[in-house]
């Protein structure tokens, strides 16, 4: 079943779009089934849960952290995490940098933007993000690599609204690329789209989609 869902989702992916299989709250057995179907990129939103799953699973998996990350939890994921997609403050960047240094590695990060209408969704505004990127403190961080942006659209049936929010995220990406990362080849990812809106997101230009329930079923 998970295998069939995965194959079905893969068939709808545009070329060069990376699929993150969001396995948060799903049992390890489900992660194994997806792994056996060839999936190697997984998304999780809790530090201890992803740490435990990463310990139990083969080491060729790319784990993406996609949830709100408290600074005191960074240490649990710093040894192995491939990408932290939910970076939304200088303080968090500084802690990721510190833990990456301790582990003698560079950790890929995406800048999360608040583009939805819901107040509950976290992320930078463009102004906040620019303040960070132009700060002296940010310039000191050598053990994080900013590889792009991430965002979530409002949970709504209104496709126009969703499109508008994805367009905002893409515009933020283009602006930051021009203003801060023009000489930086690493800054190239736009992570947007979940089970209900990833096709819309791809048509607006996502390079990464994060699909959970469409692969694993509901999280109960």
* Angle at the Cα of 107 from the Cα atoms of 81 and 148, rounded to 5 degrees: 105
Site for ligand PLP in 62-81 (CB under 6 A): 66-67
Q: Which is nearer to ligand PLP, 66 or 147 (CB)?
A: 66
Q: Which is nearer to ligand PLP, 100 or 212 (CB)?
A: 212
Select the span of 53-61, 100-108, 124-132, 191-199 touching ligand PLP (CB under 6 A).
191-199
* Angle at the Cα of 205 from the Cα atoms of 77 and 150, rounded to 5 degrees: 25
For residues 149 to 188, the per-residue mask of contacts with ligand PLP, x marking binding by CB under 6 A and - elsewhere, is ---x------------------------------------
What does the alpha-carbon distance between residue 111 and residue 39 come to, in Å, rounded to a whole number?
25
Please enumerate in sequence order all residues whose Cβ is within 8 A of that of 32, keeping only pairs 6 or more positions apart, or say none: 57
What does the alpha-carbon distance between residue 126 and residue 117 come to, in Å, rounded to a whole number?
15
CA 202 from centroid of its chain's CA atoms: 15
Select the span of 28-36, 166-174, 177-185, 193-201 touching ligand PLP (CB under 6 A).
193-201
Q: Is 4 exposed, middle or buried (0-12, 13-18, 19+ CB in 10 A)?
A: exposed
Q: What minimum distance in Å lies between the beta carbon of 135 and ligand PLP?
A: 26
Q: What minimum distance in Å lies between the beta carbon of 176 and ligand PLP?
A: 20
What does the alpha-carbon distance between residue 193 and residue 127 come to, in Å, rounded to a whole number?
23
Q: Which of 6, 17, 22, 111 binds ligand PLP (CB under 6 A)?
A: 22
Q: Which is nearer to ligand PLP, 176 or 211 (CB)?
A: 211
Site for ligand PLP in 30-59 (CB under 6 A): 45
- Joined together, the tokens standing for residue 188 give 């190239």
What does the alpha-carbon distance between residue 55 and residue 57 come to, in Å, rounded to a whole number?
6
Q: How many residues bind ligand PLP (CB under 6 A)?
A: 14
Q: Which is nearer to ligand PLP, 110 or 141 (CB)?
A: 110
Residues forming contacts to ligand PLP in the complex (CB under 6 A) are: 22, 24, 45, 66-67, 152, 194-196, 210-214
């Amino acid at each position: 079943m998970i295998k069939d869902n995965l194959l079905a989702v893969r068939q709808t992916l545009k070329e060069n779009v990376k699929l993150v299989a969001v396995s948060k709250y799903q049992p390890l057995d489900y992660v194994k089934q997806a792994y056996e179907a060839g999936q190697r990129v997984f998304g999780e939103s809790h530090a201890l849960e992803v740490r435990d799953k990463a310990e139990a699973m083969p080491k060729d998996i790319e784990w993406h952290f996609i949830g709100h990350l408290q600074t005191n939890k960074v240490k649990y994921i710093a040894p192995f995490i491939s990408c932290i997609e939910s970076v939304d403050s200088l303080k968090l960047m500084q802690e990721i940098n510190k833990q990456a240094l301790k582990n003698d590695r560079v950790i890929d990060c995406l800048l999360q933007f608040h583009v939805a209408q819901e107040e509950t969704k976290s992320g930078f505004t463009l102004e906040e993000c620019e303040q960070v990127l132009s700060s002296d403190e940010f310039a000191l961080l050598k053990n994080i690599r900013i590889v792009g942006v991430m965002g979530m659209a409002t949970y709504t049936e209104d496709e126009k609204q969703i499109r508008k929010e994805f367009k905002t995220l893409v515009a933020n990406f283009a602006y930051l690329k021009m203003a801060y990362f023009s000489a930086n080849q690493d800054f190239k990812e736009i992570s947007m789209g979940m089970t209900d809106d990833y096709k819309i997101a791809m048509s607006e230009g996502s390079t990464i989609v994060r699909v959970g329930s469409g692969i694993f079923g509901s999280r109960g």
